[in-house]
């Protein structure tokens, strides 16, 4: 399934990564495979920043692959490559390492990928890229125009459709394409993308297009301690998009991407300790078939919905998009901090999908825990549980021990009729909202409801909102709960 982030649409820096070249007795860098490394300079690459080195580099990769694999060493220097003329071949048992830079030739034009298996569907097992820099040189490639419908223009760096044990680590990547790291296939497993510094840059004049700097469709993934940076002008869409498998996304920093991450149809997976800044949407959970046993914990998301001029925004939420009608089960959303940009004047707002944490999907949701999160200045709702669509049910959900500050902070009069710290709606069964703290600190008072529910045309069964605590600096939030909601636990 292709990226889903277009349904929602619409910083640069440097980190020094040092590579230590170890010279064994033979005079070449050592390899994880125990063979001598092939030095691309010794194979004819100039590395002077102006000579087109595509042919000797492609030949070096081809020779190593023909021999069954090995290590290729990229010495210091800038190696000009022309992926419009030829992709550099990938194969199994290949290690590419060194402090050098691959830089796309100015005026290369449209291209599919820099590195790709030959043929494209061939399995690539035991692949490592470490320490190198790749610069897609978007500003100088003025003859290229990316079109998502045309894969020949996608400007991927890596394209791997099958394989296991794939490592991308400790690199500088200046990316411009649809899916710069594109690891995508039914047999993909064991993907490790760790400690990279990734900058998304769009060529001036290039129309905005859907993009994910890391795109994985596979199992046993580990996306850890990467840094992603961009600017609003560069229109970076999604930093991390992952489909289908199990694994972890941990410790990443994402700055000025529209979407921190899209997680799709995962099972036995987690996203923990990530920091998303300057986003419109923090972490989006998508289910086209089923998502099961996923934990979203201890992340921070800073949402700049006003700066981005978007009518909907969220911190962590199940996707509310027709066509993604799968089920969610066994979700845990805990210990996250979601902060929205302050609102200062009325603006266009869409109320159906604006929240810090949202369990609202066009699919069934069961067995979910929303625990110990902090949500500040949500424009419409702090937490929403359930969907106003009679075809779907939300069951066995507990919302406990969260702190919600100044929910309903948007000044639009249209949104005020349904703004609330916590909202429950749709067909609900066994829902508990307990021990949450609601603070309305704005002066003058902006929000409207502490709690709000909608049950007309739906079925409420065992919906409890009790033992919560609310404060207000001025004014008083209204209670918008309907009669079927139990507002106290029965006496024991």
Overall average pLDDT of the 81-104 stretch = 97
In which region does residue 435 sit, left (phi positive, over 0), alpha (psi from -120 to 50) or beta (all else)?
left
Per the model's pLDDT, the better-predicted residue between 349 and 227 turns out to be 227
CA torsion sign for 59, 26, 32, 76 is negative
- As a residue count, the chain comes to 492
Res 324: pLDDT: 85
Burial class (CB in 10 A: 0-12, 13-18, 19+), 444: exposed
The phi and psi torsions of 425 (rounded to 5 degrees) equal -160, 165
Overall average pLDDT of the 37-58 stretch = 98
492 pLDDT exceeds 70?
no
How many CB atoms are located within 10 Å of the residue 290 CB?
14
Residue pair 37/71 in contact (Cβ under 8 Å)? The answer is yes
Residue pair 256/281 in contact (Cβ under 8 Å)? The answer is no
Confidence band (pLDDT; 50, 70, 90) for 177? very high
Per the model's pLDDT, the better-predicted residue between 25 and 274 turns out to be 274
33 pLDDT exceeds 90?
no
Note the CATH architecture for domain 29-480.
3 Solenoid (2.160)
9 pLDDT exceeds 50?
no
Task: Read off the pLDDT of residues 93-137 as tens digits, 9 standing for 90 and up.
Answer: 999 999 999 999 999 999 999 999 989 999 999 999 999 999 999
261 pLDDT exceeds 60?
yes
How many CB atoms are located within 10 Å of the residue 62 CB?
14
Overall average pLDDT of the 260-274 stretch = 98
Residue pair 15/172 in contact (Cβ under 8 Å)? The answer is yes
Consecutive H or E run containing 327: strand 327-334
In whole numbers, what is the pLDDT of the chain averaged over residues?
91
Confidence band (pLDDT; 50, 70, 90) for 247? very high
Entry pTM? 0.92
Residue pair 136/169 in contact (Cβ under 8 Å)? The answer is no
470 CB-near residues (< 8 Å, 6+ apart) = 421, 437, 438, 439, 440, 450, 477
Tokens of 362: 């066009």
Task: Read off the pLDDT of residues 359-398 as tens digits, 9 standing for 90 and up.
Answer: 999 999 999 999 999 999 999 999 999 999 999 999 999 9
Overall average pLDDT of the 260-287 stretch = 98
Overall average pLDDT of the 22-39 stretch = 49
Confidence band (pLDDT; 50, 70, 90) for 353? confident
Task: Read off the pLDDT of residues 195-244 as tens digits, 9 standing for 90 and up.
Answer: 999 999 999 999 999 999 999 999 999 999 999 999 999 999 999 999 99
CA–CA dist 92, 72 (Å, integer): 13
Overall average pLDDT of the 30-37 stretch = 54
CA–CA dist 144, 342 (Å, integer): 39
Res 17: pLDDT: 29
CA–CA dist 440, 443 (Å, integer): 9
11 pLDDT exceeds 70?
no
Task: Read off the pLDDT of residues 415-446 as tens digits, 9 standing for 90 and up.
Answer: 777 899 999 999 999 999 999 999 999 988 88
28 pLDDT exceeds 80?
no
Task: Read off the pLDDT of residues 143-157 as tens digits, 9 standing for 90 and up.
Answer: 999 999 999 999 999
What share of the chain has pLDDT > 70, as a percent?
Answer: 92
Chain position carrying tokens 């290039």 = 206
Chain position carrying tokens 């291209």 = 111
31 pLDDT exceeds 70?
no
Q: Across 343-357, 395-409, 440-454, which has the greatest mean pLDDT?
A: 395-409
């Amino acid at each position: 399934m292709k990226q889903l982030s277009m349904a929602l649409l619409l910083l640069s820096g440097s980190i020094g990564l040092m590579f230590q070249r170890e010279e064994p007795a033979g005079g070449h860098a050592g390899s994880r495979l125990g063979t001598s490394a092939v030095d691309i300079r010794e194979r004819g690459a100039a590395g002077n920043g102006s000579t087109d080195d595509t042919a000797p580099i492609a030949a070096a990769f081809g020779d190593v692959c023909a021999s069954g694999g090995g290590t290729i060493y990229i010495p210091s220097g800038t190696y000009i490559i022309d992926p419009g003329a030829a992709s550099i071949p990938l194969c199994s048992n290949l290690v590419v390492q060194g402090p050098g830079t691959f830089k796309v030739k100015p005026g290369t034009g449209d291209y599919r990928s820099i590195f790709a298996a030959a043929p494209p569907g061939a399995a690539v097992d035991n692949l490592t890229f470490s320490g190198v820099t790749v610069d897609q040189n978007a500003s100088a490639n003025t003859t290229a125009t990316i079109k998502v419908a045309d894969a020949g223009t996608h400007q991927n760096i890596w394209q791997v459709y099958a394989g296991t044990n794939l490592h991308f680590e400790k690199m500088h990547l200046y990316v411009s394409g649809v899916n710069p790291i594109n690891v995508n296939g039914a047999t993909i497993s064991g993907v490790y993308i760790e400690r990279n510094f990734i900058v998304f840059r769009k060529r001036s004049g290039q129309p905005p297009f859907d993009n994910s700097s890391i795109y994985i469709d596979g199992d046993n993934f580990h996306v850890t301690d990467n840094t992603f940076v961009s600017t609003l002008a560069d229109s970076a869409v999604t930093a991390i998009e992952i489909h289908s498998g199990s694994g972890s996304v941990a410790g990443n920093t994402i700055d000025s991407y529209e979407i921190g991450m899209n997680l799709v149809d995962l099972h036995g997976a987690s996203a923990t300790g990530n920091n998303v800044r300057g986003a419109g949407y923090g972490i989006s959970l998508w289910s086209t078939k089923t998502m099961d046993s996923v934990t979203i914990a201890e992340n921070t998301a800073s949402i700049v919905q006003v700066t981005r001029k978007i009518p909907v925004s969220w911190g962590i939420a199940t996707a509310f998009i027709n066509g993604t009608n799968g089920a969610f089960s066994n979700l845990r959303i805990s210990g996250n901090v979601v902060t929205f940009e302050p609102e200062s004047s009325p603006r266009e707002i869409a109320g159906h999908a604006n929240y810090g944490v949202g369990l609202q999907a066009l699919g069934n949701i069961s067995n979910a825990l929303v625990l110990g999160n902090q949500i500040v200045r949500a424009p419409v709702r702090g937490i929403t549980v359930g969907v106003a669509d009679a075809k779907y049910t939300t069951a066995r959900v507990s919302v406990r021990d969260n702190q919600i500050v100044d929910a309903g902070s948007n000044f639009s009069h249209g949104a005020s009729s349904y703004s609330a710290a916590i909202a429950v709606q749709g067909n609900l069964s066994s829902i508990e909202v307990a021990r949450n703290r609601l603070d309305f600190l704005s002066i003058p008072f902006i929000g409207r409801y502490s709690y709000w529910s909608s049950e007309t045309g739906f079925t409420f069964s065992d919906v409890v909102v009790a033992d919560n605590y609310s404060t207000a600096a001025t004014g008083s939030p209204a209670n918008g709960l309907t009669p079927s909601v139990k507002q106290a636990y029965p006496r024991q």
